[in-house]
Structures are given as structure tokens and as C-alpha cells.
A and B are shown apart, each in its own frame.
Chain A
Amino acid sequence: MSPDAPPIEAEDLLLAYGSFVVMRDLTFRIRRGEIFVIMGGSGSGKSTLLKHMIGLMRPSEGTLRFEGTDLWAVDEDTRSDMLRQMGVLYQQGALWSSMTLGENIALPLQEYTDLDDADIERIVALKLALVGLRGFASFYPHEISGGMQKRGALARAIALDPEVLFFDEPSSGLDPVSARRLDDLILQLRDSLDTTIVVVSHDLASIFTIADRALFLDIETKTMTALGPPKKLRDDPPNDRVHRFLTRTADTTA
């Protein structure tokens, strides 16, 4: 892995379910320390692209590099080590419901460090404090609200100090206030942890608040049709569909 390489780099990716092509010709580089948003309408393949980036799915064609190394050209152990440097906040949080918040965060630390239980407990307290859930270690996921569950899941995602943090629709299912709080938290974490952040979203308010650059996946052409700062894309859209998406206008010509 090269320190100068971009954290994530995609080259000529073709994403498909069997013979059904979801996206093709995806080429982009995510810069270190930026918040990179993958946007597009429902069914455009945003979450599918995310699943490829976090190693859950293998691209049908093309190359996906993490820190300069092809994710799928290495053996499984090496890939596991690479994936461990990624933290993921899933759409529904995906906290393990039979475990307390503290146990959820402690599990990766128990698995991948040699720290004793007391030290792990101290780190769990820190991670919970970072996401505004100080003192909630003994709560089970079903005992806290949806927004708190997402922040708890974020605390788990940052447990191992990942190089890249992925968020799948972070504002989904949250009220506007909780969604904005999560956006602020994403910005604060990027600024403090200096982590590269990749967000899948179609929430315009969130995109304009947090994104340094955004990638637009076009469901009609099945490829990326725009890449750049979202405000620039809104003011100077490269095509009509990007304009409609970023200004919330329906296609009345159809």
C-alpha cells in the first residue's frame, strides 16, 4: 500500500447482478480526507457501488483499489486486513441487537487488538462520548431511539480508527433535526480524525452540507455523469438530469 495513493480508486468498474448490468464505466478517485458523496435517484446503484467498495461484492469488470492495492487481486487474509481499515455505518445501523452498545463497540477491539477488558472499556467510553452517547454503554439497541442507534453504530464503525468511513444513507429514517445532527457529527469526525468519508445519499440538504465532491449515478445511462463539488454541479450542471436532481425538479417532458 502506498501512502501517496488515493484511499479509494475505481477504474472502469462494471457492476452487475448476473447478466443485469447496474452501472458501467465508473472511474473515479477519492481524495484523502475528503467527504465524497455518491448520489443518484432510487435504484441508480448507489448502495450496490458501496457494497463493492466495502468488499461485500466483487465487480464484474474493472479494478477497485484501496490505498493503491487492488482489493480483489490479493488473497483473502490480505483483503480482510484491508477491509478492517474501513468502517461502515449501515442504513439501519445494524447494531447487534442481542448485545449492549458497549459490547457492540468492544467486539472489534476484542477481535483485533490485544487490549485487556479494562482498556477496551475505556476506549468504548471514549467512542460513545465522541458520538454524544456518553453513559449509554449498558443500553441495548432497542432501548434507544433510531438516531441514537445510528450514532451508536457510528461509534462501532470508528472503533478501530478506520482510514475510510462509509455511510449508507445516514439520514434515512431520521427526523430532520437528528439528520442534521448526524451531518454535523460527520463533519466533526472528518475534521478531528482526518478520516476519508464516503457517503451514499439522495438527501439534498445533507449533500450540500457535508460533501466536498459528489458523484452522480445516472439510472438512465447506467453510468456516472457528473463528478465535482455539489454547489458547482447545481450552478453549472453538466446535463439535464443532474440539474433536475440537484434542484428537485420533475421531468415534465415525459
Chain B
Amino acid sequence: MQVDTRHTDGTLIIQPRGDWSLQRPLPRFQDVLADATVPGQVQAIAFDTSGLGAWDSSLVTFLFEAAEYGRDHDLDVQTETLPDALARLVALSQAVPEEKTGGDEGPPSILSRLGTWGLEAYDELHDFVTFVGQVVRSFVGLLTFRVRMRWRQFGVVVQSSTSSALPIVTVISLLVGLILSFLGAVVLRRFGADYFVSYLVSYGMLRELGALMTAIIMAGRTGAAFAAELGSMKIAEEIDALKTLGISPIDFLVMPRVLGIVLAMPLLTVYADAIGILGGMSVAVTMLDLSVAQFLTGLLEPVVLADGLIGIFKGFVYGIIVGVAGCMRGMQTGDDASAVGDATTSAVVTGIILIVLANAIIDWAAAVFQI
């Protein structure tokens, strides 16, 4: 792969020599031009291929750059001096390109990126509010019998969100109850207040952790499944097919899923509370030498109904969040292969962030109203 140059009357003659292969570094036309000493102005570029051996795209790339240079500098590039196949390839590479529709503007400035980020954040909020609005409208339609519910789909969601989720909810809640009780045992023993471990476990599970842990499990399980199902349907144009039939995808696809998980979440919360307290009790009985009766008495005395109801209310709110976040991300899926994966991840992240945010708001409100 060697290039010689010579000149006659303003014409730069380029002579590629030897075998050209993609397996070796490519000579650069600009470098060859810089090394060539041409007196006066170059008006034309010609080629001499008499010493050329085997060649592949490496030579065509070099000639392509020569042709590009010639075009940009108004030079006469004499491709007729090339063998036919090479001349045809260079001609093909110089054919009128497709009209571009954008891109290649270089990296955006920090200000531009900030602006884009702000606009994207606004669009995100707008989409979320719009989607919630559509779900609320659909729900009102359901209450006023204007929207027909797909009860079969609703039943499938309730079943997959309750009985199918019981094993994982059981394991996590039991472990959370155990951890709370261990924590209480270590701290409360120092103050001789072992008896209050049941209060700590039951208060923690009923008001906070029963609903919170269940919601996080459901965001990763059911919310992600909603996003993947609806995302796949979007890519397969199934959602478009619904729209063209005049069927609202919110009524048809979203509503049964959201209502299904909204019903399932409070039920799962109650179950998680019970399992968590059971786990806590097992530690209290084995490590703190409390009897079951003492544990239950310590639980029932200070804990009031409101604690349990707040937990159930949280479960209800988290159910709405998990359902809406999963369905919204599914409906927003793009149309490439990675889109479903992105939608699923986004559904889980959105769900968990909103769950924690909602938890903080409900706790703040409960503190303000002394519930």
C-alpha cells in the first residue's frame, strides 16, 4: 500500500502501488497531498494504476476521499484514468446523496442541554398529568356505566397480584418483621424496655413497612409486567389497532390493570402486616423471653385502629401508583428493540420514587392532623 505522486501542467497524478488491504493502515489522501510538491495551483487530479496489485475497500476509501477533495475544491477529478470497476465505485460514492433531515450539528452547549432537560422534564410532567387525567376520566366513565369493564382481565390482574405474589410477600414481610424485632431487641434491652418490642414491630409494620415493602415488591413485579405487556403491544401496533376501532386503550387495557392492583394492594398489605408481626413475635419469644400473650398485650394496648387503617390507605395509594406508573411507561414505549426494556426499568424506577414520595406526604399529613 504505497502512493506515489507526480505532476504535469497543473495536474496531480496519483499512483497507488502494490496490494491494498483492509488489514493494514490506510494512507490518507490529505497526507499524500501535503507531501506532494506541485508548483503553482493544482487544477486536476488524475490516477495511474499501472503498479496496482490486488485491492479492496481500502483503496476505494482513498479514492473516495480524493474525489471528495476534488469536489470541495472545484478540481477536475479524472476518474476515467481509473480501471472501470474503480471508476464505477467512485462514481457511485459521488451520486447525489439523500436529503438529510437533521443531525450532525455538533455537540450541544451546556445552556442548550439545560434547556432540553427542562423541556423534557416539563413534557414528562405533562404526560404524567395527562395520563392520570385519562385514567380518572375512564374511572368516572366506569362509575357512570359509560365505560365497559373487562372483568376477565381484571380478574387475571387481581389473581396475579394477590395469590401469585403471596410467596414473595410472605418471605419479605417475615424477614422485615424479624429485622425490626432484632433491632428493637438490641436497642430496647439497653433501657430495660424489652416489653415494648411488640409495639415497635406492630407500629412499624402496620403504619409503614407492611405497605411500603409490599408496594416495592409489586412495583418490581406487577408494575414491570404491565409496562412489558403494554410495551410489546405498542410495538406490535396492537394499541394502534384498538384506536382505529375507536376503542380507548385506557378503558380497554389500563383500567382493568390499575383497578386490579388497587384492589390487590390493600389486601396484600393486611397480609404483609400479619406476617411481619408474626416474624417479629418469633424473635421476641425466642430472644427476649416474652410470652405470646405478653407480646400480644404489648401490641394491642398502644396500637390503635388508625395505625392499621393508615397502612391500608397507603396500600391503596401505592396500588394506584404502581398501576399507573407501569401502564403509563408501557403506553409510552418507543419502537425499537430496547424500548420494552427501557419502559420496564422506567416503570419500576418511577413507581418506587412516587411510592416513597407518597409515603412522606401521607406521614406528614398524618402528623399534622395527629392521626
Listed in ascending order, the chain A residues whose CB lies under 8 Å from chain B are 96-98, 109, 113-116, 119, 122-123, 125-127, 129-130, 132-136, 138-143, 148, 160-161, 188-189, 191-194
24 contacts between A and B (CB under 8 A): A97-B336, A98-B337, A113-B23, A114-B24, A115-B25, A119-B25, A122-B28, A123-B58, A126-B57, A126-B60, A127-B57, A129-B92, A129-B93, A135-B104, A136-B98, A136-B100, A139-B103, A141-B336, A148-B98, A161-B57, A188-B88, A191-B85, A192-B92, A193-B85
Q: Check A161/B56 contact, CB under 8 A, given A97-B338, A115-B25, A132-B95.
A: yes
B175 within 8 A of A: no
B296 within 8 A of A: no
- By a CB distance below 8 angstroms, the chain A residues around B103 are 135-136, 138-139, 143
- By a CB distance below 8 angstroms, the chain A residues around B92 are 129-130, 188-189, 192
Binding site secondary structure of chain B: loop
Chain A proximity of B227: nearest CB distance (Å): 18
- By a CB distance below 8 angstroms, the chain B residues around A141 are 336
13 more CB-based (< 8 A) A-B contacts, given A98-B336, A129-B95, A191-B85? A114-B24, A115-B26, A119-B25, A123-B58, A123-B61, A125-B64, A126-B93, A127-B57, A139-B103, A143-B101, A148-B98, A161-B56, A161-B57
Q: Are A133 and B97 in contact (CB under 8 A)?
A: yes
Beta-carbon nearest neighbor of A129 in chain B: B93
Beta-carbon nearest neighbor of B88 in chain A: A192
- With beta carbons under 8 angstroms apart, the residue of B22, B64, B89, B336 that contacts A109 is B22
**Residues in B339-362 with C-beta less than 8 Å from chain A:** none
Which of A109, A122, A160, A189 gathers most chain B CB within 10 Å? A122
B334 within 8 A of A: yes
Q: Are B97 and A132 in contact (CB under 8 A)?
A: yes
Q: Are B88 and A191 in contact (CB under 8 A)?
A: yes
- By a CB distance below 8 angstroms, the chain B residues around A191 are 85, 88
Complex CA distance for A7 and B98, rounded to whole angstroms:
33
Q: Are B23 and A114 in contact (CB under 8 A)?
A: yes
Beta-carbon nearest neighbor of B94 in chain A: A129
- By a CB distance below 8 angstroms, the chain B residues around A142 are 334-336
Complex CA distance for A188 and B57, rounded to whole angstroms:
16
- With beta carbons under 8 angstroms apart, the residue of B57, B104, B334 that contacts A123 is B57
Q: Check A134/B97 contact, CB under 8 A, given A115-B25, A139-B103, A188-B92.
A: yes
Beta-carbon nearest neighbor of A139 in chain B: B103
Chain A proximity of B108: nearest CB distance (Å): 13
Q: Check A133/B335 contact, CB under 8 A, given A119-B25, A123-B61.
A: no
**Residues in B59-73 with C-beta less than 8 Å from chain A:** 60-61, 64-65
Chain A proximity of B52: nearest CB distance (Å): 15
Q: Are B61 and A122 in contact (CB under 8 A)?
A: yes
Which of B23, B94, B103, B104 gathers most chain A CB within 10 Å? B103
Beta-carbon nearest neighbor of B89 in chain A: A192
Beta-carbon nearest neighbor of B93 in chain A: A129
Complex CA distance for A110 and B305, rounded to whole angstroms:
66
Chain B proximity of A192: nearest CB distance (Å): 4
Q: Are B97 and A135 in contact (CB under 8 A)?
A: yes
Q: Are A130 and B97 in contact (CB under 8 A)?
A: no
**Residues in B37-77 with C-beta less than 8 Å from chain A:** 56-58, 60-61, 64-65
- By a CB distance below 8 angstroms, the chain A residues around B61 are 119, 122-123, 125-126
Complex CA distance for A133 and B92, rounded to whole angstroms:
11
- By a CB distance below 8 angstroms, the chain B residues around A129 are 64, 92-95, 97
Q: Are B98 and A134 in contact (CB under 8 A)?
A: yes
- With beta carbons under 8 angstroms apart, the residue of B23, B26, B98, B335 that contacts A132 is B98
Q: Are B97 and A192 in contact (CB under 8 A)?
A: no
